[in-house]
Amino acid sequence: MSNYDNFDFNRTLPLINEDTEFFPLMSQEDEEEMNNEETPDILSILPLRNTVLFPGVVIPITVGRDKSIKLIKDAYRGDRIIGVVSQRDVGIEDPSFEELNQVGTVALIIKMLQMPDGNTTVIIQGKQRFRLNEEVQSEPYIKATIQKFEEVRPKTDKEFKALMASIKEMAMQIIDLSPNIPSEAGIAIKNIESSSFLINFISSNMNADVAAKQQMLEVVNLHERAKMVLGHLTQELQMQELKNQIQSKVRVDLDKQQRDYFLNQQLKTIQEELGGNSPDLEIENLRLRATRKKWTKDAANHFNKEIEKLARMNPAAADYSIQINYLELLLDLPWNDFTKDNFDLKRAEKVLEKEHYGLEKVKQRIIEYLAVLKLKHNMKAPILCLVGPPGVGKTSLGKSIAKALGRKYVRMALGGIRDEAEIRGHRKTYIGAMPGRIIQSIKKAGSSNPVFVLDEIDKVGNDFRGDPSSALLEVLDPEQNNAFYDHYVEVDYDLSSVMFIATANSLSSIQPALLDRMEIIEVNGYTIEEKIEIAKQHLLPKQRDQHGIKSKDISLKSAVIEKVIEDYTRESGVRGLEKKIGSLVRGVATKVAMDVEYNPIISKTDVETILGPPIYDKDLYEGNEVAGVVTGLAWTQVGGDILFIEASLSPGKGKLSLTGNLGDVMKESATIAMAYLRANASKFNIDFRLFDQWDVHVHVPAGATPKDGPSAGITMLTALTSVFTQRKVRPHLAMTGEITLRGKVLPVGGIKEKILAAKRANIKEIILSKSNRKDILEIKEDYIKDLKFHYVSEMKEVIELALSKDKVKDAIELTVKNLAGTSIN
């Protein structure tokens, strides 16, 4: 078996072997003479493992096995003609006849050399191609009959000439690009005249595997073989260009690093001469700052470890500035820096009263916290959640609390946050990484015990990047936030002394686990009286300062402010009221600036002149002149409101129709009311046959406004009972409450807003569930002294209180008698 010693010009470029000291060139006449030589019918076959021999090409091979050496010596003593065939599987040491390729090349042994290592090297030249027929001998080496392999030569047309020119040009380009190929190779290729020999020469020496070369050897048509060679050369040229490009890039990068290193060394020297900060001096400054920090033990160890890491870095490295920024963040964080709390409770109470009118429950909770903190200094800060409609002062209350406590104030808006990294930060390995907003806000505050307002916590979103509300669980848990872990800081930070105050408009969208960690305090809407006082004490002075108006230039009486509230705003808070007062102040500012005479005491007429006609109609009580009309109380995002539920009958088959843009819960309340009324018709003196002879239509006006909730349950049942009994509802009466199929009256929410709406609408009596009595007790008596409350637990109590004793003229019994021909007693 033969072993082939690479001839392919180092195969790094792969065109021609640089170790070869001669290039056998073959003219057209030499090729014709070679093709006309007689070939023996039987040849000794030498298997080649690592290469393919082409006609006309000269290659050296090394033979090491006894079988191969004997074949070479026998042939060298004879006519020196052998057959060379590549084996199909290069892994076989001693291939049989069947394991050889069918096409090979007749070879002439030019020279045999005995090498110092004991191996035999022979130089052979390919002559003609042949095809194996039959094996005639297997020992001591293979002999076989052969058949001459005829080649189809194309016509020498323009296309073939262009193809050959392309092959020669591409081969020259590869030689020029490769530093390992001698220039003589290019000279040899330029001087090859024979197209067939040029193709054979390049095929033999190109960087291709044995299978690909064997495939080229077996192609009969010279034109097709030329195309295959061109394809391989194209691929090799692209690889060579890419390799050179990569080497050039690496060389440029190394050159740039060396250049940057020398420049940085020079810059360091210049900075030292000028007294500037060299990297070593910068590191020393960081160490000096660290000695003045009140570190925790873990933070100190981590800082020392990181600054040692910085000292080992090359200042020119890209990570150097990242490490500097990281260490500066650790130094900027107020690890154990706390502001001293002001425990003067009377002062704190005065500050809260001055800054905010009303909100008694919140103020009381803050004073309680200060009182306990004064007695027990290591108390964990409470986590409050202020829930209420927009504009009632939830966010600004945080500033007042910070001022009352003497603490730093920081606010973080959570509305629209969808990425968990906004809370916990990014890992330092990411490009552009930074700490989370919790840590950033603590750094901004400069103390470890600020008043931290988490604004709009109910508007936190989540998507594929994570759930920020889940990340807040650790922040807002007093049992866990003493070791808050930020991905960027990589050291636990103690948040237990931070007083977190969250604000929200609604609790429905807050994660239950997060809701459980907070102390919920409802901040209800303001009454008209409260809004008037807020306008006088806060809004008007603020608008005067913003518009450059003095107190003598404008005066707003309570009646005028009340008109603005009722006719131009509809809200629980005072944000819209502030805008309207700002419009009045600007109207006055215009007159002052133009030196126009005016009356500084603004009248109701002046209000309509400046603000235009009233925007809203006051929700006044409408008289219930007909049976089936009941006044209900509702809660909205902008405060309380009254609504009217109307029920009417028409001849039919007992169908129930609901209109007025009602939600599913409200529709269910109507269905429950109808079912209860059917089941208890005898208790209310209603003939059960009416339910099958009349269609019922329940409508809630303002159809463009969506309505939902269970609080209209007793109102629905009262309306249905009224229309079936034809008993009118008592005047100036409103109600709210949920019902059950058993006729129980359940409590509902938003009582304060609903009561305020009833008072605005001139309601005198209100029916509520007994369980809502506690909500009425929280409202100041001054605001509800003109209202009478009826507390009920059963629906029959509601009917007795709500419906009058007298029936409407043309009672329903007569109508039924006329239509159905039956008498109702």
Q: Would you say residue 4 has pLDDT above 80?
A: no
Residue, of 32 and 604, whose pLDDT is higher: 604
List helix spans (H) across 333-359: 345-355
Active-site annotation holder among 400, 448, 711, 722: 711
Q: Give the largest Cα separation in the chain, rounded.
A: 143
Burial class from Cβ neighbours inside 10 Å (0-12, 13-18, 19+) for residue 768 reads: buried
Residue, of 109 and 152, whose pLDDT is higher: 109
CA atoms within 13 Å, Cβ hemisphere of 368: 8
Which of these ranges, 259-263, 663-667, 680-684, 745-749, has the smallest mean pLDDT? 259-263
Q: Residue 621's pLDDT band (boundaries 50, 70, 90)?
A: low
Per-residue pLDDT, 20? 39
Active-site annotation holder among 168, 531, 728, 754: 754
Question: What is the C-alpha to C-alpha distance for residues 213 and 209, in angstroms, rounded to an integer?
Answer: 6
Q: Average of pLDDT values for 83-87?
A: 90
Catalytic residue at 764?
Answer: no
Q: Average of pLDDT values for 109-129?
A: 84
Q: What's the 3-state SS for 479-531?
A: CCHHHEECCCCCCEECCCCCEEEEEECCCCCCCHHHHHCCEEEECCCCCHHHH
Instruction: Write the CA distances from 216 to 18, 50, 492, 616, 817, integer angstroms.
Output: 23, 15, 69, 93, 110
Question: What is the C-alpha to C-alpha distance for residues 317 and 311, in angstroms, rounded to an integer?
Answer: 12
Q: Residue 618's pLDDT band (boundaries 50, 70, 90)?
A: low
- State pLDDT tens for residues 728-756: 888 889 999 999 998 899 999 888 878 87
Q: Residue 812's pLDDT band (boundaries 50, 70, 90)?
A: very low
Backbone angles phi, psi at 31, to 5 degrees: -70, -40
Place of tokens 């009254």: 642
Catalytic residue at 754?
Answer: yes
Per-residue pLDDT, 27? 67
Residue 30: which of 196, 147, 171 has the closest Cα? 196
- State pLDDT tens for residues 413-464: 888 788 888 888 888 888 888 888 899 999 998 888 898 999 888 888 776 6
